[in-house]
């Protein structure tokens, strides 16, 4: 018997009893952890999705299943959380991803400001829509490093603005992959 709940596929309601539904995807949200802890929840192989969360866009990158190399996927223009999350989950599904790596913008002194708090809130909200563990990775100076590299390539300002978030996501994910490789090697 198919039940039509009128709730979109992102929330996939849980049947509590006949005619009553919980308006959340699962009772336990996915884990949101530092990278070092999240790696323990991931299988040995499988792609990761790297995210550079901006106020207007989200840069998206992916790794190969062996987690050696990060590559850019796209830049998502932010609209509403639900639409943004739907696209991120679609990308994760297309690539059979086993987790997310979200860049956490920590201040140079190690403190967390409003952007870091916003990133943590995004991760918490996303965790309610997926079972995939979400790792937080320090992204200090990632956008600045990418900006410098693009300037050195003599890329025009307008073109840099189009690709910087995607490249920052690659930079963040590659940094996390390199850290995981160092952990594996001892």
Q: In the CATH scheme, what architecture does the domain 29-184 have?
A: 2-Layer Sandwich (3.30)
Higher-pLDDT residue of 129 and 8 is: 129
DSSP the chain: -----S--TTT-PEEEETTEEESSS-SSPPPEEEHHHHGGGS-SS--EEEEEE-SSEEEEEEE-TTS--EEEEEEEEP--HHHHHHHHHHHHHHTT--EEEEEE---TTS---HHHHHHHHHHHHHHTT-SS-EEEEE-TTHHHHHHHHHHHTT--HHHHHHHHHHHHHHHHHHHHHHHHHHHHT-
For residue 175, pLDDT over 50 is answered with yes
Q: What is the mean pLDDT of residues 117-122?
A: 95
Instruction: Look at residue 179 in the predicted model and tell me its pLDDT.
Output: 93
The domain ranges of the chain are: 29-184
Q: pLDDT for 26-74, tens place per residue?
A: 457 889 999 999 999 999 999 999 999 988 999 999 999 999 999 999 9
Rounded percentage of the chain residues whose pLDDT exceeds 90: 58
């Amino acid at each position: 018997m198919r039940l039509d709940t009128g709730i979109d596929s992102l929330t996939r309601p849980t049947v509590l009893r006949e005619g009553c539904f919980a308006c959340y995807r699962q009772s336990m949200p996915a884990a949101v952890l530092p990278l070092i802890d999240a790696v323990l929840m991931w299988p040995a192989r499988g792609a990761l999705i790297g995210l550079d969360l901006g106020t207007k866009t989200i840069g998206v990158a992916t790794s190969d299943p062996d987690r050696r190399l990060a590559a850019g996927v796209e830049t998502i223009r932010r609209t509403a959380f639900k639409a943004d999350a739907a696209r991120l989950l679609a990308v994760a599904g297309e690539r059979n991803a086993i987790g997310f790596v979200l860049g956490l913008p920590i201040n140079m002194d190690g403190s967390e400001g409003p952007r870091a708090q916003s990133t943590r809130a995004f991760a918490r909200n996303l965790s309610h829509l997926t079972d995939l563990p979400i790792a937080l990775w320090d992204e200090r100076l990632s956008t600045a490093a990418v900006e410098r590299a693009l300037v050195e390539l003599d890329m025009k300002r307008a073109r840099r603005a189009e690709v910087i978030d995607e490249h920052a996501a690659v930079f963040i994910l590659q940094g996390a992959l390199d850290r995981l490789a160092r952990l594996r090697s001892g």
